[in-house]
Amino acid sequence: MMQIGAEATHEAICNWIKKHYPPHAEVISDLMIANSATANITALSYVGENYGVGDGFLYRGYDHHDCDMISPVTTYFDLRPAQRSGGMCFHFESDDANFDVLVLSAWVYDADMNNNLMCIASVPQEHMQHWLVFEKEVQRIYQSAIPYRGKVYIVGGVETTFDATIHWDEIYLPEQLKTDILQDIDAFFEKGVDIYTRLNIKPFRKLLFAGVPGTGKTMLCSAIAGWGQEKDYFVVYVSGSNQYGAKFWKIHEALEMAASSDAPTIIIVEELDSYLDDDDKAQLLNVLDGSESPTNKHGTIMIATTNHPEKIDDRVMKRPGRLDRIFIIPEMEHEETARLMLMQYLGDAWQEDHRQIVPKLLGRPGAFIREVALYALTMAAYRGETELSLEMLRDSLDTLVNQIEAKDGFLTSHKKQPMGLAAERKAKRNGFRIHDE
């Protein structure tokens, strides 16, 4: 029965239940398409013990049920068991009665030849509402990625989760800016959610971090993610790295997960401008307005970043409520901040005379300081040096500055000139130069 058409499988499963599952005939029962989350082993493991489904009935677990027409096959997701084909019998009981629900699941091809799990349940009619309550809870757990809450959950990426390893004290920004950002987030979850709810406003807050590349916006987001994890918040990272790229549906999926969450939720979206194409802009505007954003009663904050705020529509940038606050992440402004960052990257190799290059780090993004340190450390190790001299650190700084200036000069000189084979009057084809006649 594996990997055949969905219509034929549907009929075969229904006929098997009617013929081989006696309880289906002993009480008045209905056959229904069950949510595939009910066949997700990991999601089921997170259903609360003795979960109540109404009228005094409690969920009492499940057993695997033999079905000779379906091979039991389990998929794995993020190293955990996920969906399983075959039969599962769910048990419910109250002080006075009990009932079972049989779910048969089979892998089938859909019209696009994708492998999907079809689930059909035999449910006693009088207990249909009890089953639907249970099914909704399993779907909530599955949708909100509760089993993966120990890490940052990724929507639309190549990987499933990652660990936020950056600590708040590793972020080198002006202290007032750091304080303002963290207080904004913390105050919303601690007090703001109740205020929003009392005013009948969706507890959904949107922050934007804007700045030139390399100022540390990604590290800042990672530190916020780590802070959220320490508080047992649900943290979702929206990625544009898979084959679909930066698409609106990924943000909406993250918001759906937040709405199903049982905890305050932080959603991180890097390079927001890349999600604002013509096809998705109207939908995203409605979501940012809150009119089409799913609601998480515990509160959701979406933190977005951009290197190019000029690419973001004025309807987003200049309307409070779509982006509640915009924080400008600056290049390095203070010598003490630059010194602390340089010390962090140099670690044990730091020497007091390294202070001499600190003034030359001002006006540069954090990524520049990191590269100065890493290149110097690498070259010192390559040359077998036991200490990092000031001269080597200066050399690293100078070579990086020269490289940047050379790149800027090249781009400036070619800015008004078309580049590439199409712009050449003489083109090459298969290694040979073709001359115009």
Burial-class residue 313 by CB neighbours within 10 Å (0-12, 13-18, 19+). middle
Task: Provide the whole-model pTM.
Answer: 0.74
Sorted by sequence, the CB contacts under 8 Å of residue 322 that are 6+ apart come out as: 206, 285, 288, 289, 315, 316
In the chain, domain spans: 4-143, 161-328, 335-413
| 221-231: average pLDDT | 94
Give yes or no on whether 161-328 and 335-413 have one common fold: no
Per residue in 126-183, pLDDT (tens digit) is 999 999 999 999 999 998 888 888 889 999 888 888 889 899 988 988 899 999 999 9
The angle formed by the CA atoms of residues 183, 187 and 189, to the nearest 5 degrees, is 125
Q: Which amino acid is at 423?
A: A
Tell me what pLDDT residue 278 has. 63
- 36-40, 118-122, 291-295: least confident range: 291-295
> What does pLDDT average to over the chain?
86
Q: Comparing 276 with 324, which gets the higher pLDDT?
A: 324
Per residue in 57-78, pLDDT (tens digit) is 999 999 999 999 999 999 998 8
Helix axes 248-259, 281-289, angle to 10 degrees: 30
> CA torsion angle for 396, 397, 400, 406 (degrees, to 10)?
-130
Q: Are 358 and 338 within 8 A, CB to CB?
A: yes
Q: Are 121 and 34 within 8 A, CB to CB?
A: yes
Query: What's the distance, CA 352 to chain centroid?
Result: 41
Indicate the CATH number for domain 335-413: 1.10.8.60
Per residue in 228-280, pLDDT (tens digit) is 999 999 999 999 877 778 888 899 889 989 988 889 999 999 998 888 776 66
| 339-350: average pLDDT | 94
Per residue in 87-111, pLDDT (tens digit) is 999 999 999 999 999 999 999 876 5
Q: Which amino acid is at 180?
A: D
Other CB atoms within 10 A of residue 343 CB: 16
Per residue in 12-26, pLDDT (tens digit) is 999 999 999 999 999
**269-303 exposure pattern, b = at least 16 Cβ within 10 A, e = fewer:** bbbbbbbbeeebeeebbebbbbeebbebebbbbbb
Tell me what pLDDT residue 126 has. 97
- Determine which helix (DSSP H) or strand (DSSP E) holds 401, and give its type and residue range: helix 390-413
Indicate the CATH number for domain 161-328: 3.40.50.300
Per residue in 371-429, pLDDT (tens digit) is 999 999 999 999 999 999 999 999 999 999 998 887 666 556 655 555 443 444 444 43
| 30-38: average pLDDT | 96
Tell me what pLDDT residue 433 has. 41
